[in-house]
């Protein structure tokens, strides 16, 4: 589920879907973006992430802005292949700069996980631009929910991008037999949905059902 082989498959799938995508099409889940913008973003993030292997800082700017549109599909594939090759050659235990509530030394396993979820969610975005809904693997989506709780929400709070939640958001996957994931502290507010719906809601791809949890999810729990 979280391996360089799985990441290679996920990036190839994105590239395959991209082959039949209109680069000028709007991406409904990413307001103001076209498919062109989405591809530049994901390819640039792949390039930047590869550069964090063996690095001691997060410095660097994702590439992609200057790529001619006619070369964009090939450029994406090259960035994805370089990312996978870099992570595979290093191995999951190799040192890398990572981010979270505290950024600094970590290992390559962080980037295998992060780039897997980055690719899967943006593949969902790419398909949404074609009017198609993707079926996310529940177990992988649930790990993405855990990543938000472990990495993104505490990072957002630490950076002052969002205040701490006034209550604890307890997330339950209705299609998996897994312990609940809780984000924040205090009195618990429970939201039970299929794992993929929970992940997409956390990343503002879907609206939360009306109720107490919706108010908690309205904040910037993710970038």
Helix, strand, coil fractions of the chain, as percent rounded to 5? 50, 10, 40
pLDDT band (50, 70, 90) for residue 128: very high
The full length of the chain comes to: 223
Q: Are 31 and 44 in contact (CB under 8 A)?
A: no
pLDDT at residue 5 greater than cutoff 80: yes
Q: Specify the pLDDT at position 55.
A: 96
Question: With b meaning 16 or more CB within 10 Å and e meaning fewer, what string describes 10-38?
Answer: bbeebbebbeebebebebebbeebbbbeb
Tens of pLDDT, residue by residue over 134-190, are 999 999 999 999 999 999 999 999 999 999 999 999 999 999 999 999 999 999 999
pLDDT given at position 122: 98
Rounded Cα distance, 146 and 48, in Å: 23
Residue pLDDT, tens place only, 95-123:
999 999 999 999 999 999 999 999 999 99
- The pTM of this model reads 0.96
How would you classify residue 212: left for phi > 0, otherwise alpha for psi between -120 and 50, otherwise beta? alpha
């Amino acid at each position: 589920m979280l391996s360089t082989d799985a990441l290679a498959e996920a990036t190839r799938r994105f590239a395959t879907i991209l082959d039949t995508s209109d680069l000028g099409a709007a991406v409904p889940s990413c307001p103001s973006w076209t498919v062109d913008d989405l591809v530049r973003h994901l390819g640039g993030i792949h390039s930047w992430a590869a550069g964090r292997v063996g690095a001691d800082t997060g410095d660097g700017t994702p590439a992609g802005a200057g790529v001619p549109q006619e070369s964009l599909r090939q450029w994406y594939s090259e960035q994805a292949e370089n990312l996978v090759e870099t992570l595979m050659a290093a191995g999951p235990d190799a040192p890398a700069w990572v981010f979270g509530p505290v950024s600094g030394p970590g290992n390559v396993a962080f980037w295998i996980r992060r780039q897997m979820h980055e690719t899967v969610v943006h593949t969902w975005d790419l398909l949404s631009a074609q009017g198609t809904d993707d079926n996310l693997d529940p177990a992988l989506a649930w790990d993405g929910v855990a990543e938000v709780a472990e990495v993104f929400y505490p990072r957002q709070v630490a950076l002052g991008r969002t205040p701490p939640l006034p209550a604890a958001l307890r997330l339950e996957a209705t299609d998996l037999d897994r312990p609940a994931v809780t984000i924040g502290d205090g009195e618990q507010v429970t939201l039970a949905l299929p794992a993929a719906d929970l992940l997409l809601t956390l990343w503002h791809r879907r609206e939360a059902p009306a109720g107490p949890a919706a108010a908690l999810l309205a904040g910037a729990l993710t970038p």
